[in-house]
Amino acid sequence: TNFQTYGESGAEDALVGNVNKLTVSPPGYSGAPRKGHLVFDACFESGNLGRVDYINDFEFDLFIRPDTCNPRFRVWFNFTVENVRETQRVIFNIVNFSKTKSLYRDGMSPVVKSTSRPKWQRLPPKNVYYYRCPDHRRNYVMSFAFCFDREDDVYQFAYCYPYTYSRLQHYLASLERKHLPYLRREQLGLSVQQRRLDLLTITNSGQSLRLHKEKKLVFLTARVHPGESPASFICQGVIDFLVSQHPVAQILRDHVIFKIVPMLNPDGVYLGNYRCSLMGFDLNRHWQDPSPWAHPTLHAVKQLIVQMNQDPVSFSLALEAVSCWSQLLLFCSITMTQNSVGPDPEAFFYRHKYFYSVMH
């Protein structure tokens, strides 16, 4: 992974909180804010904006608030702007990205919505620029131009489509209300801040004990990194399909037990972090020996897998999103033959090649 530092004084390290209804007026101005003196806010679920610098009436430098307890990661942003003037044109510069590579170089653009248009839309790529900026020690900056068109609207901008912890809870509650006989929701554990770690089990019941024992076990996790919101959309799509009446879904439920943990890092998602948990840990680096107090969600999941040792996992899938790859990226474990200590190259190649083609 490519990271960059910002500045020599470590100024971005001091950004420990989000802006809260921050009015940005021209230097030296006093008095009540006028229309066009923009008000920035990120004190909401999954919000992130640490600082705003006024450049002129049309341009503002925006600083991402680093992940909690870990200033190394500064990628995700999600904030609102209000008190706009109709037809007001602005340029927002996100100036302290920690990554040098980004899909913004390849045509991706931030998303925007407003109170009168609540559906997220992507900004036109022609209005988005990702470049090394000489004014910011040649660090990478993402600038985008925008024209506000409705004075009474509150506008919201985000790195990509947000998928919050609350959204997941509403979705899972709606599934529970359907009382599907092949779906069970459990609280596997709690995060450091006492948010739910949900576990879904999807499989058809009422079969004979022999058939049930012959079922394969598939384990799926998502959202270990909070800024990778596409993983949650994919996970919800997988769940929707598996609980549907599609003939393939019914066959899968007959032959497979699906265990799904849809959000491994609920605190990080809620706080608006990009990669880390509340305590600044990249959870994906702590599977080997997770701590019950520092990494309670990982610890709970690993304990579950150990408990299922008598019925071992046949297939495990971790849903993630990579900020600099537009294609599907598939990491696979080595398939072992039953009577050897080395991999079976033919089985490894064809099984995973088939799965890759199915995912496409």
**Tens digit of each residue's pLDDT (9 = 90 or more) over 307-341:** 887 777 788 888 888 766 666 555 555 545 455 45
Q: Out of 2.60.40.3120, 1.10.357.10, 3.50.50.60, 3.60.15.10, select the CATH number for domain 11-158.
A: 2.60.40.3120
CB atoms within 10 A of CB 313: 14
Torsion of CA 274, 277, 282, 284, to 10 degrees: -100
- CA-based nearest residue to 185, from 102, 136, 256, 258: 258
Mean pLDDT for the chain overall: 88
Which pLDDT does position 333 carry in this prediction? 56
At 34 the pLDDT is 95
Q: Give the pLDDT confidence of 122-174 residue by residue, as tens digits.
A: 999 999 999 998 888 788 999 999 999 999 999 999 999 999 999 999 999 99
Parse the chain into domains and list their residue ranges: 11-158, 165-329
Strands of the sheet with 89-94, listed across from one edge: 51-56, 59-63, 89-94, 139-147, 128-133
pLDDT of residue 6: 43
Q: Are 111 and 104 in contact (CB under 8 A)?
A: no
Strand 155-158 with 111-114, pairing: antiparallel
Bridge pairing between strands 155-158 and 78-82: antiparallel
CA angle 18, 297, 277 (to 5 degrees): 25
Residue 304: helix, strand or coil by DSSP? helix
H-assigned helices in 115-262:
165-176, 209-213, 230-242, 247-255
Single pTM value for the model = 0.88
Query: Can you say whether the dihedral through the CA atoms of 129, 133, 138, 139 is positive or negative?
Result: negative
Burial classification of residue 306, based on how many CB atoms lie within 10 Å of its CB (0-12 exposed, 13-18 middle, 19 or more buried): exposed
- 3-class SS of residue 189: strand
Q: What was the pLDDT predicted at 180?
A: 98
CATH of 165-329, one of 3.40.120.10, 1.25.40.80, 3.40.630.10, 3.40.50.150: 3.40.630.10
pLDDT at residue 351 in the model: 53
| Residue ranges of the chain with per-residue pLDDT less than 70 | 1-15, 208-210, 212, 323-360
